[in-house]
Amino acid sequence: MVCVLKATTHMATLFFQVHNYTASANTLAAQASCTTQKMADPSHTYLYLGVALVSLLILLLSKRRRSPEALRLPPGPWQLPVIGSLHHLAGQLPHRAMRDLARRYGPVMMLRLGEVPTVVVSSRDAAREVMKTHDTAFATRPLSSTMRVFSNGGRDIAFAPYGDYWRQVRRIAVTELLSARRVLSFRPIREEEVAAMLRAAGLAVDLQSAVSALVSDTTTRAVMGDRWKDRDVFLRELDCSLRLAAGFNLPDLWPSSRLAGRLSGVVREAEKCRDKVFGILDGIIDQRLQKAESGAGVDGEDLIDVLLRIRREGGLQFPLYMDAIKAIIFDIFIAGSDTSATTLGWAIAELIRNPKALQKATAEVRHAFASDGVVSEAALGELHYLNLGNRETFRLHPPAPLVVPRECREPCQQVLGYDVPQGTQVLVNAWALGRDKRYWPDHSREEFWPERFNDGEAAAGVDFRGVNFELLPFGAGRRMCPGMAFGLANVQLPLASLLFHFDWEVLGLADPADLDMTEAFGITVRRKSDLLLRPILHMLLPSLDSSGPPILHTAAILAPLPLATAHRADTSSDDPYEIDVLPMCVASD
């Protein structure tokens, strides 16, 4: 606000100065010509010319002084023409390079990615200013060239510009699509899919592929039901979309350049992917509409049913057209699948590398469910150590290390005293915050040590639900992740079940501490290498649900285990779901 006032005052001053000087110059010129004619005194001519020149100089200087350089922009490394600061990021993953740069230039740092001005925020206080104090000023998002295609021009939730439309779709997400009740209604799907994954484990398994398949199958069934053709094509095209949406594409670095757009071809590829995905969705939606017309009731609504019902009921400020429905479904896959699978991969890898933590977590799960013989989702909240482990995984490995970009939507906003002009992209480096020694003084901050969150330790009470700005795996504020309960459910049940039923050994490594933890570049930052493990059966496996065979994935199986004696999962429990829904998730304005 102060900044806007300053800018307005500057403009007003400049306006008056320009007018005054122009007027004086005109007057002087007129007087000069008049006087020249009347008196023809050369000394007067020089005087008037001198005054005119000085006025012009003052005008130019004042213009210079009041140009954008007068803003107090955040510091940053030197820039090159055309590529801006990109050369400072070469050779490292962006969140790592930005952390190193921030150590030199401070917690609010200015970069130019190609031609895009970008502010990177790397301290708890600065993150609080962006996501809480000035939340509305930073509540919109830049729309990349590929996301523009996938979101049908921002008709989804994640990339809709801040405003009434976004408020409406966000409310639908929070109250209908991703509410605690809805997440709970998908519990049988999760239990069947986890049972299928456990039973598909062979003598050796790539656990990263297995959990990725698990999460996409669970999400697919929750969104569009059990059986439909083209499922494999759909998942392949989604994968392609995720690949295209990740990374720095030429048109996003030089948005004003038509050449960059033409050279890259990424938009054309994105359109092809989108058309295939949307074509398949059209088929599924048509079937549902026909079913609804024929009067057949919907038993057990999936998310497509929910969206079509909301559309039918009407009464919305913005009618829910099909292009919006498809963009929202696309969003749920893009925002929901990879994030959960990435978290699961890191959680398992960290436990395997840290035998003491693995032993504690395993003992806790086995003790809690020994008498049932199966992990019950309703009781997962009681697993104290495993929940600390989840927090520690999010601290070290937030799946979206730079959160999701925000953009300054006000003429100028201040962060820690620096001016951030309108249109600047803002990145919060959640990965750097999770490893900053100022906030994590105990033990080694690079080490996986869930005990740091225990009562009496420095990080006791630090949580990931958007109130502690040093731990931001789900972001914070108005644009915070509305799918947190869904995501946590996708992580907790499989993780506890893997520990309950199996002991795990790393293949080909004498010391599990040597497990490769290199990060890969992508829309989420997952482990680069496979997670090849040998499962050793400890407890009989749950059976597959007889009411409808879940989808079995064979990609992860290297050699199948002989089927263990069936043990039915109890899915009839009425226990309340443990995961809270944050009031903060609801758009509040």
The footprint of ligand HEM (CB under 6 A) covers: 157-158, 170, 173, 178, 331-332, 335-336, 339-340, 343, 399-400, 403-404, 473-477, 479-483, 486-487, 491
Which CB atom, from 334 or from 506, has the smaller least distance to ligand HEM?
334
Helical packing angle, 384-396 and 322-353, nearest 10°: 110
Amino acid, single-letter form, for residue 275 = D
Residue 543: partners with Cβ closer than 8 Å, 6 or more residues away = 195, 566, 567, 568, 569
One DSSP character per residue, 135-174 reads: TTTT-B----HHHHHHTTTT-SSTTSPTTHHHHHHHHHII
Residue 571: partners with Cβ closer than 8 Å, 6 or more residues away = 187, 188, 191, 545
Shortest reach from residue 161's CB to ligand HEM, in Å: 10
Whole-angstrom Cα distance, residue 297 to residue 469? 46
Shortest reach from residue 464's CB to ligand HEM, in Å: 8
Which CB atom, from 394 or from 504, has the smaller least distance to ligand HEM?
394
Whole-angstrom Cα distance, residue 61 to residue 56? 9
Which CB atom, from 404 or from 564, has the smaller least distance to ligand HEM?
404
Which CB atom, from 98 or from 476, has the smaller least distance to ligand HEM?
476
- The reply, when asked if residue 481 is annotated as ligand binding, is yes
Shortest reach from residue 499's CB to ligand HEM, in Å: 18
Q: Is the separation of the CB atoms in 95 and 401 below 8 Å?
A: yes
Q: In terms of Cα–Cα distance, which of 574, 397, 372 is closest to 473?
A: 397
Which CB atom, from 254 or from 346, has the smaller least distance to ligand HEM?
346
Question: How distant, in Å, are the alpha carbons of 176, 303, 477 from that of 325?
Answer: 14, 10, 25
Whole-angstrom Cα distance, residue 352 to residue 371? 26
Which CB atom, from 108 or from 525, has the smaller least distance to ligand HEM?
525
Shortest reach from residue 61's CB to ligand HEM, in Å: 42
Shortest reach from residue 280's CB to ligand HEM, in Å: 19
Which CB atom, from 373 or from 381, has the smaller least distance to ligand HEM?
381
Q: Is the separation of the CB atoms in 328 and 169 below 8 Å?
A: yes
Sign of CA dihedral 40, 42, 44, 48: positive
Q: What share of the chain is helix, strand, coil (3-state, %, to 5)?
A: 55, 10, 40
Strand arrangement, sheet containing 116-121: 108-113, 116-121, 425-428, 406-407
Shortest reach from residue 219's CB to ligand HEM, in Å: 7
Q: Is the separation of the CB atoms in 86 and 73 below 8 Å?
A: no
Shortest reach from residue 406's CB to ligand HEM, in Å: 6
Shortest reach from residue 158's CB to ligand HEM, in Å: 4
Residues facing 51 on adjacent strands = none
Q: How many CB atoms lie within 10 A of CB 538?
A: 13
Which CB atom, from 288 or from 478, has the smaller least distance to ligand HEM?
478
What is the 3-class SS of 388-424, one letter each residue?
A: HHHHHHHHHCCCCCCCCCEECCCCEEEECCEEEECCC
Which CB atom, from 117 or from 477, has the smaller least distance to ligand HEM?
477
Whole-angstrom Cα distance, residue 192 to residue 455? 36
Shortest reach from residue 154's CB to ligand HEM, in Å: 11
Amino acid, single-letter form, for residue 278 = F
Shortest reach from residue 505's CB to ligand HEM, in Å: 27
Which CB atom, from 178 or from 396, has the smaller least distance to ligand HEM?
178
Binding residues: 481
Binding residues for heme: 481
